[in-house]
Structure 1
Amino acid sequence: MDFKDYYKTLGLERGASEDEVRKAYRKLARKYHPDVSKEADADQRMREINEANDVLRDKEKRAAYDQLADHVARGGSPDGSFRPPPNWDEGFEFHRGANQGPADHADFSEFFSSVFGAAERRGAQRRNYRARGEDHHAAIEIALEDALNGAEREITLRSQELDAQGRPEFKTRTLSVKIPPGVHPGQYIRLAGQGMPGHGGEPAGDLYLEVRIAPHPLYRVEDRDLYMTLPITPTEGALGAQVKVPTPGGGVVEVTVPPKARNGLKLRLKERGLPGKPPGHLYLLLEIALPPADTDAARKAYEQLAQAAPFDPRRHLGV
C-alpha cells in the first residue's frame, strides 16, 4: 500500500491555511463533481478530493497525518511500502467532520481505512454523533433574460449517495429554483436545506448553485456589465451619426456616434446592464462595416472616394 499525499491531491503546500484548504476543495469540486464535470475520470478524482479534504480540514486528523508524513519522510517501512507504525494514533481523538455519517467513508481508499478507520470507529462508540449536513455545490446555466428579469426554473441534479448496504450509487432529483433579477456569472444562489442530510437531529446542509449565463446573440456579459458590437458605416464613422440600438430590456435608444469614430471605440449607456446595487452598464464597441463592392455603382463610388480623399492606412509601416 502506498502513502497518499493529500496536499498534492488538493494542489497545496503542507503549510496551507484552513481557508486555502477550503478554497482548493471548492475549486476542484466545481471541476470534477459528477453533476457538472465532463472529465473521464471525474468520479475517481472526486473520491480522492473528498478523501483529502476530509483529512486536511480536520485539525486532529491533519496533525496525525502530518506526523505520519514525517515518519515516511524519515524512511518509513524498510521495504518501501507504507504501514502505520504501532500506536501511531495515541493521543489523537478522531471524529467525523460536519458532513460525515457512519458510512460516508465507504468508498475511500485502503490507505484511509488503515490509518483512520479503526480510530474513527472507536471515537464513534464513545459519543452520540451529531452534525450538520454537508453543503453541496452545482452549476446552473440561465438565459440573459432570466438574469435581467428574474425567473423560476427547474433543474435536475445527480449526486452520489450510499444505499442501505453502504455502496455508492447515483440518485437524481429535480428542484425548483427562483432566480433573482441581477444575478451575474460566478454568483451563487443558495438553496437552504438542499445539501446532505444532518445527523443526530442536526439540520441538512445547503446547496449552492454557481450561476452561468448562456451565450447571447447580441450581448456579452462581464460581471454586471454588458457588451455589444455596434456596426456602423464608414460614412457614419467619419462624419458622425445618430443610430438606433436595441437595449437588453427590449427597448430601443438612439445613440450619437461622434465624428472621426474608429474601430473599437467604446460608448457607454449608463445603467443599461444587469440590475443591481449599483446596476451595470451597456458598452457599445464600434465596428466599421464596409459596404460590398458588388455592383458597378458601388465600385464607381469607391473609385471616386479614392480619388477625392486619398488615404494610406499603411504609411506608418515605412514601406
Structure 2
Amino acid sequence: MSVSFKDYYQLLDVSKTASQDELSKAFKKMARKYHPDLNPDNPEAEKKFKEINEAYEVLKDPEKRKLYDSLGPNWQHGQNFQPPPGFDSSRFRSYSSGGPSGGPQFEGGFGGFSDFFETIFGGQFRGEQSYQGDPFGSGGFGPRQTKGRDVEVGMELPLEDAFTGGSRTISFQEQVMGPDGMPRMETKSLQVNIPAGIKNGSRIRLAGQGSPGMRGGPSGDLYLKIRVAPHPKFKLEGNSIIYDLPLTPWEAALGTKVRVPTLAGAVEMNIPAGTGSGRKLRLRGKGLGKGDQQGDQLIRVMIAVPEKPTDQERELWEQLARTSTFQPRHDG
C-alpha cells in the first residue's frame, strides 16, 4: 500500500529538532489560528486544524516521534513511501483507546486521522468521534467549550408601563435541540423586571438567557430592546412627554385653571393670561428616565375655535373684531 507522506514538522512550522516546549507553543499558536469555532464556514481552516492535531499527536509522544523520524532521509520531500520492512504498528495501538490518557478522540464533524497516520500507528482511531481537552490550555487539544451567541429580542411596551416599570412576561421563539437531535423552535417565556422610566431604544440584559453554549459551554445573554408603543394622548421627544392641551381663545387670553392628564395621574395647572397657541408649559419630573436624567411633561397649548358658532357667538366675535386693537401680524 502506498500513501501520501505528511510532513508533521512543516505542518506545525517547527524544525525537526524542536523541543517539546517548542512543539507545544507552535501547536497552540496554530490551533488558535485555525480552530473551527473561530473560522465558521471555512472548510480549509477545518482541514488545517485536523492536520495540525494529527501532527501534534505524533510529535508530542517520544515513541511515535521516534518511529516517524525513522521513516527515512527523504521525509522532507513529501513523496509517497512504503512502511519499513517488518514494521509492526500493533505496539502503538495502545494510544488509540481514546480519552485524556489514551489519545485524541474527534467530535463535531471534524473527522479522524489520515491514512498516513493509520498506516503507521494503526487504524483504530477511525470512527472514534469525541474530542478531549482544550487547544488553548494546558490539557491537550481539541475544541474548547464555547459560549453561546448573544440574542436580541424586541419588546414593545405601553408608555404607561415604561413610566411605571415593574414585572412583565415576555414570550419569544427560541431554537433548541429536540430529543431526535434535530433543531426545532420552541416558545420561551421569561419574567422580566422593567426599570421605571425606561427610555425608548434602551436594552435590558438577561445574563445566560441567550443561545446555549457548545460542548457544555455557558449560554449567551439575551438583550431586550425596548420599543415604546405610540400613545393616543401623549407623544415622546427623548425623555420628555408632550401633551397637546386645547384651550378656547378666551381661556388663553384671560388665563384659567385646567386639569391636565399625566402618566402619574391628573394635576391642576394654572394657564397664565395671554398664552399663545404653540406655547409649551412645563411639568417637571413627569417624563421618562430617573434621577437627574428624568424628563419633564411639556404642555403644548393649542387654541381651538368652534367650527359652527351660533348666531349669538358670531355677533360677539364680530363685535370683538370691531373693537379690538390687537394686531398679531406685523407686515409693516
Normalised by the size of structure 2, how large is the TM-score?
A: 0.56
CA deviations on 1:261-308 (whole Å, 9 max, x unpaired) are 222211111112235122221111111111333321121122112112
1:194 to 209, 229, 232: 209
Letter in 2 for 1:260: G
State the secondary structure of the residue aligned to 1:253. Answer: strand
Letter in 2 for 1:174: S
Show the counterpart of 2:236: 221
1:257 to 243, 249, 271: 271
| Higher gyration radius (CA) | 2
2:70 is the counterpart of 1:129: no
C-alpha distance in 1 between matches for 2:273 and 2:47: 78
Cα 1:232–1:134 change in 2 (3 A) is: same
Cα 1:296–1:121 change in 2 (3 A) is: farther
Identical residues among aligned pairs (%): 37
2:189 is the counterpart of 1:174: yes
Show the counterpart of 1:210: 225
Alpha-carbon distance, 1:160 to partner: 4.2
State the secondary structure of the residue aligned to 1:155. Answer: strand
Report if the CA contact (8 A) 2:36-2:46 is conserved: no
CA deviations on 1:229-266 (whole Å, 9 max, x unpaired) are 11111112223332221221123222x32333222211
C-alpha distance in 2 between matches for 1:120 and 1:232: 75
State the secondary structure of the residue aligned to 2:170. Answer: strand
Show the counterpart of 2:281: 267
Cα 1:299–1:91 change in 2 (3 A) is: closer
Cα 1:181–1:309 change in 2 (3 A) is: same
2:163 is the counterpart of 1:138: no
Cα 1:308–1:282 change in 2 (3 A) is: same
1:284 to 299, 323, 327: 299
Task: Number of aligned residue pairs: give it.
Answer: 216
User: For residues 38-53 of structure 1, what are the structure 2 equivalents within 5 Å?
Assistant: none
C-alpha distance in 2 between matches for 1:121 and 1:233: 81
C-alpha distance in 2 between matches for 1:239 and 1:273: 29
User: For residues 147-166 of structure 1, what are the structure 2 equivalents within 5 Å?
Assistant: 147-160=162-175
Letter in 1 for 2:34: E
Letter in 2 for 1:190: R
Letter in 2 for 1:235: W
C-alpha distance in 2 between matches for 1:127 and 1:180: 43
C-alpha distance in 2 between matches for 1:213 and 1:308: 50
Report if the CA contact (8 A) 1:242-1:257 is conserved: yes
Cα 1:131–1:179 change in 2 (3 A) is: same
Alpha-carbon distance, 1:214 to partner: 1.4
Normalised by the size of structure 1, how large is the TM-score?
A: 0.58
Cα 1:221–1:241 change in 2 (3 A) is: same
Report if the CA contact (8 A) 1:247-1:253 is conserved: no
Report if the CA contact (8 A) 1:144-1:213 is conserved: yes
Letter in 1 for 2:164: N
Show the counterpart of 1:70: none
Aligned Cα root-mean-square deviation (Å)? 3.1
2:34 to 93, 117, 124: 93
Cα 1:268–1:91 change in 2 (3 A) is: closer
Show the counterpart of 2:199: 184
User: For residues 239-254 of structure 1, what are the structure 2 equivalents within 5 Å?
Assistant: 239-254=254-269
User: For residues 108-123 of structure 1, what are the structure 2 equivalents within 5 Å?
Assistant: 112-119=41-48
C-alpha distance in 2 between matches for 1:90 and 1:201: 20
Cα 1:285–1:115 change in 2 (3 A) is: farther
State the secondary structure of the residue aligned to 2:172. Answer: strand
State the secondary structure of the residue aligned to 2:315. Answer: helix
C-alpha distance in 2 between matches for 1:175 and 1:221: 28
2:251 to 236, 242, 250: 236
Cα 1:224–1:90 change in 2 (3 A) is: closer
Alpha-carbon distance, 1:186 to partner: 1.2
Cα 1:189–1:91 change in 2 (3 A) is: closer
Letter in 2 for 1:243: V
